[in-house]
Amino acid sequence: MKKRVSQILLLAMFCLTSAVASAQGTVARSGNVSKSATITAINHTTRVVTLKDAQGNIEDIQCGPEITRFNELKVGDTVTFSYHAAVVYQIAKPGDKTTAAAGPAMTRGQGVKPSGAVTQQHKATVTIEAIDAAAPSITVKTADGHKLTAMVEDKKNLEGVKVGDKVEVTLTEALMVTVDAAKK
């Protein structure tokens, strides 16, 4: 869990380097990555699907019992994995009430072929420990005492931010998987 929180904070620090912030506003940054591959083999006994992407990379994927429509997969089908991540952070004033992070949730697709999505949210509050406008960089401390320093790409992001400010960071992740029938 500590490693995961550190990853969240590093991602948030990356966002601090490239988003334009205002001291009382909320800053958000998001991105998407998609990858498609073709099913080249299916082992129904072990529930392993072999995928091959456009570059010829081959990967075996173990499909657990939560994949309830496993038997509908066919060799030649195209599987697309779409990952979306969004980071939101804002200056938190003392006494501000914030919402809790949403835990993992799974949604099954209702289409002709199997599909679904898994979403999860992580939250952390960090304290600004140091600001170096000359570099420019910022150092924050997590609730468990870890310190992280990151370069700030746009100096405007440092305007209105001061040592001691608490910054709430929320990372929302979603992985969508869709299957399309083989092209004839």
The label of the residue with tokens 């006494």 reads: 95
Give domain status of residue 74, yes or no. no
Give domain status of residue 145, yes or no. yes
Instruction: Please tell me the total number of residues recorded for the chain in this structure.
Output: 184
Give domain status of residue 19, yes or no. yes
| Dist. CA 5–CA 178, nearest whole Å | 29
Residue 12's domain comprises: 2-34+81-180
CB atoms closer than 10 angstroms to residue 122: 20
Give domain status of residue 66, yes or no. no
Question: Contact, 95 vs 166, CB < 8 A?
Answer: no
Give domain status of residue 71, yes or no. no
| Dist. CA 4–CA 20, nearest whole Å | 25
Helices (H) and strands (E) in the chain, counts: 1, 9
Give domain status of residue 97, yes or no. yes
* Predicted TM-score (pTM) of this structure: 0.63
> Which pLDDT score is estimated for 95?
65
Give domain status of residue 93, yes or no. yes
Question: Contact, 42 vs 75, CB < 8 A?
Answer: yes
Per residue in 75-123, pLDDT tens?
999 999 999 988 776 666 656 777 777 788 888 888 888 888 999 988 8
Residue 52: both structure tokens together: 């091959």
Domain count, the chain: 1
Per residue in 40-73, pLDDT tens?
999 999 999 999 999 999 999 999 998 889 999 9
Give domain status of residue 113, yes or no. yes
| Dist. CA 6–CA 30, nearest whole Å | 18
